[in-house]
Amino acid sequence: MPKIPFIQDLYEKSKEHNSFSGIIIFDLIAFIAYLINPISFFFLGDLHVLFGAIVGVFLALKARKVGDNPIHIGLIVGFFGAFLSAISIIIFHFFVFVLPNAGFDLYLTLSLFFEIFIVATIIGIMVGGMMGFYISHKERENKNKLRDLNRNSFKY
């Protein structure tokens, strides 16, 4: 099977820059999910941002370097991914729904942006922090089990 150099280079770069890749994946998944189905349950784009946050933070944490703090990476990816998702969703929402129906209304556009930004930021930070804490807790637990195993295996 022939290798595609572009895809292979992209994969290698994403492993090097895991936070940036997680932010871009977060934004792309949230935006594409909003393009496919712009219906929300509670706030504008809530489930789309949640789905993008889970996938983006997971992939960023999966490809992180050995010394990186998972909570820190989760929070960074959650915040900046939410910010980019809010911008991309509001641009789409503005050009597809607001501009054709209400014309250019600065108040409506800003209120939609702040609604999406606040909701996306809360979701992104919460998901990033919780997933980072979970990974950090699991690593600490595994380290303690390994330490206990090493202590008990050398006793006579």
Predicted pLDDT at 125: 95
* pTM, 2 dp: 0.80
Helix pair angle (46-62, 106-153), 10° resolution:
40
Comparing CA positions, the residue from 128, 123, 129, 130 lying closest to residue 45 is: 123
Rounded CA gap, 60 and 19, in Å?
5
Q: Which residues of the chain have pLDDT under 70?
A: 1-3, 7, 10-11, 14-15, 41-42, 153-156
Predicted pLDDT at 5: 75
Comparing CA positions, the residue from 53, 66, 65 lying closest to residue 131 is: 53
Amino acid identity, residue 11? Y
Predicted pLDDT at 1: 45
Predicted pLDDT at 144: 79
Rounded CA gap, 113 and 145, in Å?
47
Predicted pLDDT at 156: 53
